[in-house]
């Protein structure tokens, strides 16, 4: 039976990336050493980091005013590392709370300075994005979660603001062409759309740094990581290498334009299938629906377990909704083939 991996993260990777990563575990670039064994300061691995940085800069069309870092700790660490480096008691963090991850960002930022929630969609269970933003005077930066993995919403146009814009792009990084220059800092855990768990990419405009008065521990100081070229301490070597392989794959397949074309096709197919059957219901505002994570429900909740059992028997992996939301969640990242989404839609048609 063929398996279809709809997990929200860690998520599906391209088969050729898996094959290349597996081969490198035994012999990395004909060195006779495993990628798991090479020194992180050797020319072999420095070349990996530098190539990954250059591909990221090509995708984002950014220059040397930005630095690309590969760090540990996941997006969860960035919830506190961003305000630790950027926010103090003399400023204010404006944050969009549009779901689980935005709410976590709010809580962590409050440890370092004043916070104002400028977008809150909890009144409708985060089924839409409140785009009417009013930034208080003295705002240091605006933080948004560009794609809400749990709730199934996505910013399709970013806020136009006159303060630095911070983006948590963990679940939609490189899913489409984007004006990345609108952002002063972007972070993304790799495990959803850009590689394996264990590494987080941070892209930061260097002029943003050095403006807070607090002492920052070296391991949490962006400037220290920039000075060390992401090698301040032993980085997650294998995860960075898998990210490089994934970035190469995206570029080889046609880049972000091609990724968007494929992702739109998959999302359109699934959302149209949901709407074709009275059995299913997607409460997410149409203009805010994510092309990465589709969240929907059965109108008759008593049939949900039966549907999930059928999914399991049919090789549909990871489609049960997040524990606080429930329902069904289908994640359709870059590596997800259209054929898997078609197979899931066929199953929905059969169940209906």
Q: Residue 228 CB: number of other CB atoms within 10 A? A: 14
- Residue in 53, 97, 155, 168 annotated catalytic: 168
Check if 101 is active-site: yes
- Residue in 53, 97, 101, 221 annotated catalytic: 101
- Residue in 192, 221, 266, 288 annotated catalytic: 192
Q: What is the 3-state secondary structure (H, E, C) of the chain?
A: CCCEECCCCCCCCCHHHHHHHHHHHHCCCCCCCCCCCCCCCCHHHHHHHHHHHHHHHHHHCCCCCEEEEEECCHHHHHHHHHHHHHCCCCCEEEEEECCHHHHHHHHHHCCCCCEEEEEECHHHCCCCCCCCCCCCCCEEEEEEECEECCCCEECCCCCCCCCCEEEECCCCCCCCCCCHHHCCEEEEECCCCCCCCCCEEEEEEHHHCCCCCCCCCHHHCHHHHHHCCCCCCCCCHHHHHHHHHHHHHHHHCCHHHHHHHHHHHHHHHHHHHHHHCCCEECCCCHHHECCCEEEEEECCHHHHHHHHHHHHHCCEECCECCCCCCCEEEECCCCCCHHHHHHHHHHHHHHC
User: Which residues touch 198 (CB under 8 Å, ≥6 apart)?
Assistant: 72, 190, 191, 236, 238, 239
Dist CA 202 CA 52 (whole Å): 12
Active site (catalytic) residues = 101, 168, 192
């Amino acid at each position: 039976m063929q398996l279809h991996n709809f997990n929200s993260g860690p998520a599906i990777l391209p088969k050729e990336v898996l094959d290349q990563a597996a081969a490198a575990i035994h012999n990395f670039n004909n060195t006779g050493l495993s990628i798991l064994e090479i020194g992180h300061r050797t020319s072999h691995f420095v070349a990996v980091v530098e190539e990954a940085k250059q591909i990221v800069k090509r995708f984002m069309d950014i220059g040397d005013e930005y630095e690309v870092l590969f760090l540990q700790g996941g997006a969860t660490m960035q919830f506190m590392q961003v305000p630790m480096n950027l926010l103090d008691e003399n400023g204010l963090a404006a944050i969009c709370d549009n779901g689980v991850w935005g709410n976590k960002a709010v809580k962590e930022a409050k440890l370092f300075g004043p916070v104002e929630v400028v977008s809150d969609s909890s009144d409708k269970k985060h089924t839409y994005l409140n785009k009417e933003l009013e930034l208080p005077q003295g705002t240091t930066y605006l933080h948004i979660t560009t794609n809400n993995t749990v709730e199934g919403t996505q910013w399709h146009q970013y806020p136009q603001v006159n303060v630095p814009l911070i983006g948590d792009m963990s679940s939609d990084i490189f899913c489409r062409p984007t004006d990345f220059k609108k952002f002063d800092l972007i972070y993304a855990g790799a495990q959803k759309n850009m590689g394996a768990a264990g590494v987080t990419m941070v892209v930061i405009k260097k002029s943003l740094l050095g403006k807070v008065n607090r002492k920052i521990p070296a391991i949490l100081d962006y400037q220290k990581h920039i000075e060390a070229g992401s090698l301040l301490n032993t980085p997650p070597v294998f995860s960075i290498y898998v990210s490089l392989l994934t970035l190469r794959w995206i570029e080889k397949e046609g880049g972000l334009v091609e990724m968007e074309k494929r992702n739109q096709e998959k999302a359109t197919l699934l959302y149209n299938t949901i709407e074709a059957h009275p059995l299913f219901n997607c409460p997410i505002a149409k203009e805010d629906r994510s092309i990465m994570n589709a969240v929907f429900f059965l109108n008759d909740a008593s049939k949900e377990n039966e549907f999930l059992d059928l999914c399991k028997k049919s090789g549909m992996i990871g489609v049960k909704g997040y524990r606080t939301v429930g329902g069904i969640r289908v994640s359709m990242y870059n590596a997800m083939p259209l054929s898997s989404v078609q197979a899931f839609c066929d199953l929905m048609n059969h169940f209906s």
